[in-house]
Amino acid sequence: MPGSRDSLTDVSGLLVGHHHDIDPNAELGSGAATGCTVVRTLGGAVAAVDVRGGGPGTRETDLLDPSNSVQQINAVLLSGGSAYGLAAADGVMQWLEEHGHGIAMGSPDQVVPIVPAAVIFDLPVGGWGVRPTAEFGYLAAAAAATEFETGSVGAGVGARAGVLKGGVGTASTVIEGGPADGVTVGALIVTNPVGSVFDPRTGLPWGVGSEGPQAYGMRKPDVHELWNANALAPKGTALNTTIGVVATDVDLSPGSCKRLAVAGHDGLARAIRPAHSPLDGDTIFALSTGTRSVVTETSMPKAFARDLPVLDALAAVAANVVERAIVRALLDATSVASIPTYRQIFPSAFES
């Protein structure tokens, strides 16, 4: 069942904040239209990452290899601005340092915050020279809360999903029954792929396939709208990328977090076709806040005893929440720089 907010922050120990700069009169190539989104961890979280796209823009991903020394992170930055947008991580680190969050290196005021990051390519949407800076990251970290907006906000302001407007989406599930009973899994995704997010034969988002359009209050749109959608001009940018976070409250090892990130990409591939192209930098981070413990009985070796009985259930749910988060990004988006939204192109899909 969905979590109380159907949001990443249903996972205890996580907060989300946005900051963006958007000109109401922005057009392709002019005006401000970019931003960033920060996922803050309260008390740190075990983390891993899986990068599948051929053109990623990332920071601190090598650090997340399960064989490396750092075991917890303090925040994840998701940003627009392509490689320039990685500068926003400096501002996130500044906010965390000011508040005492990071690896302790001596006295209480000597910490090193750990902030992995990934970016999307949104430079052609709005002015090429308007990019997230360290100030963006600082303000997004400061704004982090359990309640946050979705759609064309934060890192999703300049996102474009194929021919349609992309954005930020989120979803969560509380597992019922089995060894993972009561565990929450959530996702937050910035949807900006080169691939299509809707079926050209039906007009429905690919991602509604698992639950059906009725779960989103939708129906198959009228055929004339489908003709218009298939006639839209292609995206026309060489670099794209879908990035995000999938998280759980159960205590996982770094290796099991890695498997959770891998599973999240299954949901991405269901909702975007094609996914993981050479022109995308698709990257998913996985977090475990460890606020919930699951006790299982197993005869497996100790290294597997803590995680494996629940990991299969978590993996299936991770794919589902990523898929739903992508659909929500599509449905919640508002037009920026005259890029049409799904609701504008397919209004009949929401008629009773």
Q: How far apart are CA 137 and CA 17, in angstroms?
A: 9
Q: How far apart are CA 7 and CA 290, in angstroms?
A: 18
- Bigger pLDDT: 226 or 35? 35
pLDDT mean over 218-230: 88
Q: How far apart are CA 246 and CA 262, in angstroms?
A: 10
Q: Is the pLDDT of residue 302 over 50?
A: no
Q: Determine how β-strand 73-79 pairs with β-strand 117-119.
A: parallel
For residue 90, the tally of other CB atoms under 10 A from its CB is 17
Q: Is the pLDDT of residue 93 over 50?
A: yes
Q: How far apart are CA 82 and CA 119, in angstroms?
A: 5
pLDDT mean over 172-189: 94
Q: Is the pLDDT of residue 303 over 70?
A: no
Q: Which of 24-33, 123-132, 146-155 has the lowest mean pLDDT?
A: 24-33
Q: Is the pLDDT of residue 191 over 50?
A: yes
Q: How far apart are CA 255 and CA 66, in angstroms?
A: 6
For residue 69, the tally of other CB atoms under 10 A from its CB is 7
Residue 305: band (very low, low, confident or very high) from pLDDT cuts 50, 70, 90: very low
Give tens-digit pLDDT for 246-268: 999 999 999 999 999 999 999 99
Contact 333, 341 (CB under 8 A): yes
Residue 288: both structure tokens together: 């475990």
- Nearest Cα neighbor of 248 from 208, 285, 211, 207 is 285
pLDDT mean over 276-290: 93
Residue 323: both structure tokens together: 């898929």
Residue 292 pLDDT: 82
Classify 8-350 by CATH class: alpha beta
Q: Which residue has the tokens 């891998």?
A: 262
For residue 42, the tally of other CB atoms under 10 A from its CB is 14
Most confident of 62-71, 262-271, 301-310: 262-271
Residue 264: both structure tokens together: 């999240």
Query: Would you give the DSSP letter of residue 205?
Result: B
3-state secondary structure of 265: helix
Residue 301 pLDDT: 44
Residue 310 pLDDT: 85
Residue 237 pLDDT: 62
